[in-house]
Amino acid sequence: MTRLRSTLQTYALFGLLVAVTASGCQNCKRKPPAPKLEDTKEITEPVVEETQADITEKRFQAVLDNCELTSSNRIKNCQNDEYNEFIEYVRSQGANIVTPTTEALLSGKVKKQRLAAQILRDFIPSILHTMDPSHLAEGDVRALLGKLQEQNPTTSNIALDTARPILALTSVMGMEEEARNTIKQFDPSINKATMWVHLQAIKGYSLHARLGAFDLIKETFKSDVPEMQVAAVEAIIDIPNWTKEESQRFCEWGGEILVQEGADKLKGIPAQLMLRCDRDPWQKKVMDEAEKREKNLTYGRPFADHFRFICPKVDEYDGRTDEICKRQYALLLRVSQNPKFSVKERKYALAMMADRWPDEETVKALESLSQDSNTEISDLAKTMKSKMATRIKALAEDKARKERGDYTPPPQGPGEGG
């Protein structure tokens, strides 16, 4: 009886445990079921969109990680196509590239500073004329100017490469006093390195100040140092899209320095300036100067390097009817024939004549020169004459295509087209 009672109690207790387990426990926490496989597919990390600053930082870092940055502030020896991708990106950013470039220049990291210097040197001046000042932060420009003022031109190329773009940006922001004070800080009398920074600063300032910098340019030209004189003229040449007033004032001054004593030391730069001026009267003055030099037997390079473009290779002016072109052709023929000029200059004149006037009249001139007593002249004349027939035929075919309306002109090189 006792055994039966014990067995019944055991069964009762077991039943009670099963009931409690089945009904659950109010004070117990249930472990949640594992998610089904199809549910886990939808559990993903939230998408974080990249900011423009993130993209720019990645572009910078790709160059820093995979390319060399030289002491002359140039990118080289990239592992893949980082250089071209970076250049394309910088060009697409316009004024927006100034802020990250400023940060890189101020970073204190040599490679980043070199990269910033290349951006400033190679891209800022070229986009300056399209730059909206409202897209520039004054704080960035002041920071760049401050960094430039800290530089020692004798120990680093940073100042030389950044002076022009930084002074251009300073002028864009209307910070005239700061710009001129910075130019003065780099006193050209200290040493050559400081002089070059001074000149680059003037060029940068002039890009936007334009006529507002003319007094500074003319003052620089008064120096007896030829490099400073040349840089002063180049500052004017670099100013894009002259207005009518600018053209008048720049060309009047260019006409004066073209004929001044000692102009031969200026590498023909005044002639280059005058070729940006109106054909009449200013380019005629270049022609007059060339004829004077021919008469004095001083005609030659570097003046001739710029004089060659007074009559374009492409027919902007008719080489046989335009007054200046006719005078240029006659001068080149005389120089190429005259044994009083060096063989080097005679050959240069001959080649220029044949290049600019591929026609039957030039063929006759080359036939005559092919009999010259100097073998270098005669050999060159024969070579140019042998090529002339092919060129004349090609030009005739081009003319026919133009008349049919299916002509596409080839791309022109630097200086071509006037």
SS (H, E, C) 56-116: HHHHHHHHHHHCEECCCCCEECCCCCHHHHHHHHHHHHHHHHHHHHHHHHCCCCHHHHHHH
Question: How high is the pLDDT of residue 343?
Answer: 98
Name residue, tokens 């926490």: 29
User: Which pairs with CB-CB distance under 8 Å and at least 24 residues apart come from 342-345?
Assistant: 342/300, 343/374, 343/376, 343/377, 344/300, 345/299, 345/300, 345/301, 345/304
Number of continuous H segments (helices) and E segments (strands) in the chain: 20, 2
In angstroms, the CA 75 to CA 83 distance is 7
Other Cβ atoms less than 10 A from the Cβ of 320: the count is 11
Instruction: Name residues whose C-beta falls within 8 Å of residue 95's C-beta, 6 or more positions apart in sequence.
Output: 127, 131, 132, 135, 136
Instruction: Name residues whose C-beta falls within 8 Å of residue 406's C-beta, 6 or more positions apart in sequence.
Output: none
Q: Are 75 and 67 in contact (CB under 8 A)?
A: yes
Of 214, 116, 127, nearest in space to 168 by CA:
127
138-184 per-position pLDDT tens digit: 999 999 999 999 999 999 999 999 999 999 999 999 999 999 999 99
Q: Where are the alpha helices (DSSP H) in 210-321?
A: 214-221, 226-238, 244-258, 269-274, 284-295, 303-307
Cα separation values, 345 from 266, 272, 301, 324, 333, Å: 18, 19, 8, 21, 12
Question: How high is the pLDDT of residue 413?
Answer: 44
What sign has the CA pseudo-torsion 161, 163, 164, 169?
positive
Question: How high is the pLDDT of residue 256?
Answer: 95
Question: How high is the pLDDT of residue 19?
Answer: 46
290-347 per-position pLDDT tens digit: 999 999 999 999 999 999 999 976 555 677 888 999 999 999 999 999 999 999 999 9
What is the mean pLDDT, run by run of 10 residues, along the chain of 418 residues?
47 45 49 54 62 91 95 94 92 90 95 95 84 86 97 94 96 95 97 98 96 97 95 96 96 95 85 94 96 95 94 70 93 98 97 92 96 97 91 80 70 43
Name residue, tokens 């591929």: 358
Question: How high is the pLDDT of residue 35?
Answer: 54
Question: How high is the pLDDT of residue 236?
Answer: 97
Q: Which amino acid is at 184?
A: K
Question: How high is the pLDDT of residue 346?
Answer: 98
Cα separation values, 393 from 178, 267, 351, 396, 406, Å: 60, 37, 19, 5, 17
In angstroms, the CA 83 to CA 86 distance is 5
In angstroms, the CA 398 to CA 48 distance is 57
Name residue, tokens 């023929």: 333
Q: Are 165 and 126 in contact (CB under 8 A)?
A: no
Of 340, 318, 332, nearest in space to 362 by CA:
332
Q: Are 307 and 274 in contact (CB under 8 A)?
A: no
Name residue, tokens 């002359």: 72
Count CA within 13 A, CB hemisphere, residue 192. 2
Name residue, tokens 């445990």: 17
In angstroms, the CA 31 to CA 194 distance is 77
Question: How high is the pLDDT of residue 265?
Answer: 83
pTM: 0.79
Instruction: Name residues whose C-beta falls within 8 Å of residue 220's C-beta, 6 or more positions apart in sequence.
Output: 199, 202, 228, 229, 231, 232, 235
Total residue length of the chain: 418
Angle at 138 between CA 148 and CA 161, to 5 degrees: 25
Question: How high is the pLDDT of residue 127?
Answer: 81
